[in-house]
A = this chain, B = another copy of it.
Amino acid sequence: MTQRGEVGQLTQRQVAERAGVSQATVSLVLNGKADASTRIPKETRARVEKILRETGYVANPAARRLAGLGNKIVGVFTYEPAFPSEGQDFYAPLLNGIESSAEELGCDLLLFTSAPVVDGTRRLLHENNRLRLADGCLLLGREMNRDELHRLVETGFPVVAVGRRDVPGVPYVGIDYAGGTSELVSAACELGHRSFVYLHVDSQGESVTDRRAGLLDELDRRGMARPRMHPMSAADPVHDWALVKASKATVLVVESHEHAVAVTAIARAEGVRIPEDLSVLVLSDAARQAGPLDFTRLSPPRREVAAAAARLLARRLDPDDEIDSGDLQSMLDCPAIPGTTLAAPRGGIVA
């Protein structure tokens, strides 16, 4: 059980012996210190550096960390496994963004894959978690355990969430889904639509509630009726299409692109023309392959939001950087793509 770490590796002391100096001197040379109290003349410095190069010495990061330095390690916690192909469309662009930021910043990424799964999501604060090996941590996931998030923030450990979070005090970079959704809905209203139906994801995640809020608030502002709302059932698009048809709405709003493809395929098979008979708005972007329809849709900057979160975390880790409290929570614009599935209403759904 007891795992042995480390085989014997070169230490500063050994380097120091070879160079005929003390360990402290090696450390000073390594870190380029040159205070009034710690002066190393060029020649000594050169001698030490020569040995360092010859031996290929690399500092033990655990010791550095213990001695109170940062490690340039960014923790990444995903509330679900990140790489299974189901979750991949969700996490891949985020990890892509984080990776490129990390590369720029010279950081390594520590993925907390050991977190045990309780009630369907991973738990970060388990015993012997390796959280503190990282300088800070990014949090990814559709839904997060609010309790745990709260406790984590309270410990003072530097954390940044990818995506807006409702828990007070949690720094984040989010995407303005509400604004983007409003815009799309607004465009439909301007074209004369008055009747909406909403196929939504069944989740309490903030991004989901933001999209719903964008839809409902925009309709409220215009004094229009609330839309029919149905949770999507990935397993049964036929059923979903039946509900849409029954609603007699002229605009179908679908939260997931994938589901939009499935439902519209059924609709078109029944002879429904899009957008002539039914307009379709999609609140996410195509993952990879576009279907036959170029949906009028949102194009959330998912890669960018993760990259921005990583940069924000880096700023939090830099003690010289005083962050405006307003910058701790920010939202990126969520642009809409015109596409071809929105048109003025004509006759409603032809059954």
A63 adjacent to chain B (CB < 8 Å): yes
Inter-chain contacts of A130 with B (CB < 8 A):
61, 71-73, 108
CB of A81 to closest CB in B, whole Å = 6
Interface flags, A54-79, vs B, CB<8A=1, else 0: 00101111110110111111000000
Inter-chain contacts of A61 with B (CB < 8 A):
62, 128, 130, 132-133
Complex CA distance for A108 and B129, rounded to whole angstroms? 9
Inter-chain contacts of A2 with B (CB < 8 A):
69-70, 319
Do most interface residues of chain A lie in helix, strand or loop, or is the interface mixed?
loop
A114 adjacent to chain B (CB < 8 Å): yes
Interface flags, A251-270, vs B, CB<8A=1, else 0: 00000000000000000000
A81/B95 contact (C-beta < 8 A), A108-B112, A109-B113 known? no
Q: Which residue of B lies closest to A7 (CB)?
A: B156
Q: Which residue of B lies closest to A98 (CB)?
A: B83
CB of A144 to closest CB in B, whole Å = 18
| Copies of this protein chain in the complex | 2
Inter-chain contacts of A109 with B (CB < 8 A):
110-111, 113
A135 adjacent to chain B (CB < 8 Å): yes
A202 adjacent to chain B (CB < 8 Å): no
Interface flags, A1-22, vs B, CB<8A=1, else 0: 1111111010000000000000
Inter-chain contacts of A56 with B (CB < 8 A):
125, 151
Complex CA distance for A130 and B60, rounded to whole angstroms? 8
CB of A141 to closest CB in B, whole Å = 15
CB <8 Å contact, B92 and A58: no
CB <8 Å contact, A114 and B107: yes
Inter-chain contacts of A102 with B (CB < 8 A):
113-114
Inter-chain contacts of A7 with B (CB < 8 A):
155-157
A229 adjacent to chain B (CB < 8 Å): no
CB <8 Å contact, B83 and A99: yes
Complex CA distance for A115 and B15, rounded to whole angstroms? 24
CB <8 Å contact, A110 and B110: yes
Interface flags, A293-319, vs B, CB<8A=1, else 0: 000000000000000000000000111
| Additional pairs, 5, CB under 8 Å, beyond known A4-B69, A6-B132, A7-B157 | A3-B135, A73-B110, A83-B95, A83-B96, A106-B114
